[in-house]
Amino acid sequence: MNPTHVVVDSPVGPLTLMAQEGALCALYMEVQRHRPPAETFGVPGDPHDEPFATVAEQLSAYFAGELTKFDLPLTLNGTPFQKRVWSLLQEIPYGETATYGELAAELGKPSASRAVGLANGRNPIGVIVPCHRVIGSTGGLTGYGGGLDRKRYLLDFERETSTTQHALF
């Protein structure tokens, strides 16, 4: 089955959502490193059809500060190592960060922080699989496929929202 796609607006610019067989398989920002050519996105889909309607609803709740963990059917296409890294990304709590070295150690490959960084950069489902939560060993905002301004925005947004949420309870 060929993929379908829709474009939704967000505070970080237009997001192209791709789905295949009822699961989200990509979320790309308008300007993003490793963004595939538009002709690979498949035919335009209906934003009211699944999974697009649920993805858009959850993204809207996320950007409103009301959702801290996505619950969506995802299809992550990559190598076994990339999939392991992307799985770990989903375990980084909202409003928190991890370093490439910490992820490498978690994988049992403490010297593989560069490989973790490369896999992180190839994450096909930005924001939802939170590659923006990975930082350098010194706390610096190292590369981000969507650009460092977007990474800074997402991290600041999550920290501020997380602090506000904790203050409410």
DSSP code at position 74: B
Q: Which entry of 27, 131, 154, 155 is annotated as an active-site residue?
A: 131
**Distance, CA of 142 to CA of 60 (rounded, Å):** 27
Name residues whose C-beta falls within 8 Å of residue 47's C-beta, 6 or more positions apart in sequence.
6, 8, 53, 56
Asked about 131 being catalytic, the answer comes back as yes
To 5 degrees, how large is the angle CA 43–CA 25–CA 48?
Answer: 55
- Catalytic positions, please? 131
